[in-house]
């Protein structure tokens, strides 16, 4: 039995979707534990592109069972649109996608509230995906939220909506109802999905326990990344959930020992979409080169991603918080043409050199990255499938990274396609 967690180690978009699509072959279940439709996991299969937002990437495996845990916030219209698109791509999802009864729902008023807060422009505009994520988690923790299980009892559902929508409508002096967002409109929208949602509902913790007791292998599919975590990320420029390993336990109700191997997904350079500090950002020609060659535009919003160099200080932090045992390095091919490649090995702040990020992460705005520059390889790695076929300098780049972080290199990705992958090392007894 070996259960794997796949987590993003940077600011999201590391290529988790592609790697989950490879590792799902060793899993019976692929389950999401946090986030919602803010995620955008792109998978390219035989020229066909699937953009997964809410549905676990594992659905692409014909036999794989999938679950949205209680830690996920579910936008029902988006979920069913996504299912329609996946089915149009020739994937039969019936009977394979389950939803925790305790998962909270993203409601229309969450998107209105988010537009309001993002438009306040007080210098702290986060640059969110506008999927209602922050307000949905805020209602959840304030105990005003609506859960998937509320669809089981329409009277209770209406009662919950009267509370939460009444709360925000009165606080906004009737703005919600002026904008057409009422108890009735929300109730009617949710009830359209009731017949399809109810058969999907499960007790996430129980179904996970049953799976583990019958030796089924579980792949926990992380969304977002280390530095977007609500507790450990670059607050307030973060998402509203625990994107790191701890989120697995609260987001599914599985015990701490459920994870055998933690695979950190590391893009061979760094990107960030949205605002907030980014020490190794390159706003000059190299940043443009990475964006162009890496096609760095958001899967969910289409926004250009900010680009910069690999940051080993931030990655060391990701290894520490998540207990990362292995890394999968993606987009190595994007660096093919560079003469030399700087890697941030330490930060300089207030006259001191640091191996770890400052305790006050807001100070990331003030740190000076200290770079070590490695020579480029100046030849194509696109589609390489054997580690030994990589140019020597590319291998040196990968070794420098895994040695500094003290983790094993499990996978190297050399293109977006499934086959453009090097399986380097064996995981925890799992055939890869
Ligand atoms: P995720 O959110 O972590 O799943 O990552 P995204 O899907 O948002 O962004 C990663 C992008 O890079 C997607 O468009 C992938 O198809 C693409 N991609 C993944 N691995 C590679 C790779 O090794 N090389 C190249 N060139 N593209 C890749
Ligand atoms: P995947 O799973 C990259 C970013 C947003 C914004 C901040 C808050 O594809 O890696 P939110 O809508 O969550 O309230 O936005 O978090 N963000 C992501 N950036 N990849 C993601 O997901 C992201 N999900 C949220 O851009 O800066
Ligand atoms: Mg993404």
Domain residue spans of the chain? 4-100+200-258, 104-197, 265-423
- For a pocket test of ligand 2, which of 15, 273, 302, 328 has the largest count of ligand atoms closer than 8 A to its C-beta? 273
How many CB atoms lie under 10 A from the CB of residue 388?
7
| Tokens found for residue 234 | 């670059």
Which CATH entry fits the domain spanning 4-100+200-258: 2.40.240.10, 3.40.630.30, 3.30.56.10, 3.40.440.10? 3.40.440.10
Q: Which helix (H) or strand (E) holds 31?
A: strand 29-32
Each residue's pLDDT tens digit, 314-340: 999 999 999 999 999 999 999 999 999
Q: What is the pLDDT of residue 366?
A: 97
| Tokens found for residue 96 | 């394979």
Distance, CA 336 to ligand 1 centroid (Å)? 16
Domains 4-100+200-258 and 104-197 share a fold: no
CATH superfamily of 265-423: Adenylosuccinate Synthetase, subunit A, domain 3 (3.90.170.10)
Q: What is the pLDDT of residue 121?
A: 61
Contact (Cβ atoms closer than 8 angstroms) between residue 257 and residue 5: no
Q: In terms of C-beta density within 10 A (0-12 exposed, 13-18 middle, 19 or more buried), how is residue 341 classed?
A: buried
Q: In terms of C-beta density within 10 A (0-12 exposed, 13-18 middle, 19 or more buried), how is residue 333 classed?
A: buried
Residue owning the nearest CA to atom 9 of ligand 1: 13
13 is annotated as an active-site residue: yes
Residue owning the nearest CA to atom 2 of ligand 1: 13
Question: Average pLDDT of the chain?
Answer: 95
| Tokens found for residue 319 | 């290894």
Residue range 104-197, CATH number: 1.10.300.10
- For a pocket test of ligand 1, which of 18, 21, 46, 328 has the largest count of ligand atoms closer than 8 A to its C-beta? 18
- Looking at all shown ligands, the one closest to residue 290's CA atom is 1
Q: What is the pLDDT of residue 34?
A: 98
d(CA 88, CA 107): 26
Given the residues 21, 28, 41, 155, select the one marked as catalytic.
41
| Cα four-point dihedral sign 199, 202, 208, 209 | negative
Given the residues 13, 169, 282, 333, select the one marked as catalytic.
13
In short, whether 239's Cβ falls inside 6 Å of ligand 2 is: yes
Q: In terms of C-beta density within 10 A (0-12 exposed, 13-18 middle, 19 or more buried), how is residue 195 classed?
A: exposed
Max Cα distance, the chain (Å): 66
Q: What's 58's DSSP letter? A: G
The average pLDDT across 269-285 equals 96
Write out the DSSP string of 199-220. GGEE-HHHHHHHHHHTT--EEE
Q: What is the pLDDT of residue 429?
A: 42
Distance, CA 305 to ligand 2 centroid (Å)? 11
The pocket of ion ligand 3, defined by CB under 5 A, consists of 13, 40, 299
In short, whether 8's Cβ falls inside 6 Å of ligand 2 is: yes
d(CA 5, CA 31): 10
Q: What is the pLDDT of residue 425?
A: 77
Q: Which residues are near ligand 1 (CB < 6 Å)?
A: 8, 12-18, 40-42, 44, 299, 330-331, 333-334, 413-416
Dihedral pair phi/psi, residue 160, rounded to 5°: -60, -40
d(CA 6, CA 20): 7
Alpha-carbon torsion angle 77, 82, 85, 90, nearest 10: -130
Q: Which atom of ligand 1 is nearest to the CA of 51?
A: 7
User: Is pLDDT at 427 greater than 60 in this prediction?
Assistant: no
Residue 122's pLDDT band, with cuts at 50, 70 and 90, is low
- For a pocket test of ligand 2, which of 38, 53, 139, 230 has the largest count of ligand atoms closer than 8 A to its C-beta? 38
d(CA 102, CA 125): 31
Dihedral pair phi/psi, residue 68, rounded to 5°: -100, 115
pTM of the complete model? 0.97
User: Is pLDDT at 431 greater than 50 in this prediction?
Assistant: no
Distance, CA 189 to ligand 1 centroid (Å)? 34
Q: What is the pLDDT of residue 227?
A: 98
How many CB atoms lie under 10 A from the CB of residue 167?
15
Beta bridge partners of 61: none
| Tokens found for residue 266 | 């590391």
Contact (Cβ atoms closer than 8 angstroms) between residue 99 and residue 4: no
How would you classify residue 281: left for phi > 0, otherwise alpha for psi between -120 and 50, otherwise beta? beta
Residue 36's pLDDT band, with cuts at 50, 70 and 90, is very high
The average pLDDT across 363-373 equals 98
- Residue 100's nearest CA partner among 203, 242, 223, 213 is 203
């Amino acid at each position: 039995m070996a259960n794997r967690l796949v987590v993003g180690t940077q600011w999201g978009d590391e290529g988790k979707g592609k790697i989950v699509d490879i590792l799902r072959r060793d899993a019976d279940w692929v389950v999401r534990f946090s986030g919602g439709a803010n995620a955008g996991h792109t998978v390219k299969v035989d020229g066909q592109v699937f953009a997964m937002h809410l549905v676990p990437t594992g659905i692409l495996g014909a036999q794989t069972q999938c679950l949205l845990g209680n830690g996920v916030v579910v936008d029902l219209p988006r979920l069913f649109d996504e299912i329609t698109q996946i089915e149009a791509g020739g994937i039969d999802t019936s009977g394979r996608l389950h939803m925790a009864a305790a998962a909270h729902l993203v409601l229309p008023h969450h998107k209105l509230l988010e537009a309001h807060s993002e438009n306040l422009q007080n210098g702290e505009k986060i640059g969110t995906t506008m999927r209602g994520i922050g307000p949905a988690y805020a209602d959840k923790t304030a105990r005003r939220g609506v859960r998937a299980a509320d669809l089981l009892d329409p009277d209770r559902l209406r009662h919950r909506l009267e509370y939460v929508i009444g709360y925000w409508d009165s606080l906004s002096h009737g703005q919600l109802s002026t904008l057409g967002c009422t108890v009735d409109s929300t109730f009617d929208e949710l009830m359209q999905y009731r017949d399809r949602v109810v058969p999907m509902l499960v007790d996430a913790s129980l179904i996970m326990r049953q799976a583990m007791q019958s030796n089924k292998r579980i792949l926990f599919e992380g969304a977002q990344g280390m530095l977007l975590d609500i507790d450990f990320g670059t607050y307030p420029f973060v998402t509203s959930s625990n994107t790191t390993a701890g989120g697995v336990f609260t987001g599914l109700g599985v015990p701490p020992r459920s994870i055998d191997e933690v695979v950190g997904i590391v893009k061979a350079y760094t990107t960030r979409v949205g605002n907030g500090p980014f020490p190794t950002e390159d706003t000059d020609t190299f940043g443009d080169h990475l964006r162009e060659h890496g096609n760095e535009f958001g899967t969910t919003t289409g926004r250009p991603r900010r680009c910069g160099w690999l940051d080993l200080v931030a990655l060391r932090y990701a290894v520490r918080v998540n207990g990362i045992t292995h890394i999968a390095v993606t987009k190595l091919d994007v660096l093919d043409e560079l003469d030399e490649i700087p890697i941030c090995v330490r930060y300089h702040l207030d006259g001191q050199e640091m191996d770890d990020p400052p305790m006050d992460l807001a100070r990331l705005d003030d740190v000076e990255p200290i770079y070590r520059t490695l020579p480029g390889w100046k030849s194509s790695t696109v589609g390489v499938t054997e580690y030994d076929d990589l140019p020597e300098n590319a291998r040196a780049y990968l070794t420098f990274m895994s040695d500094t972080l003290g983790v094993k290199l499990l996978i190297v990705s050399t293109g977006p396609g499934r086959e453009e992958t090097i399986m380097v090392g064996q995981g925890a007894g799992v055939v890869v």
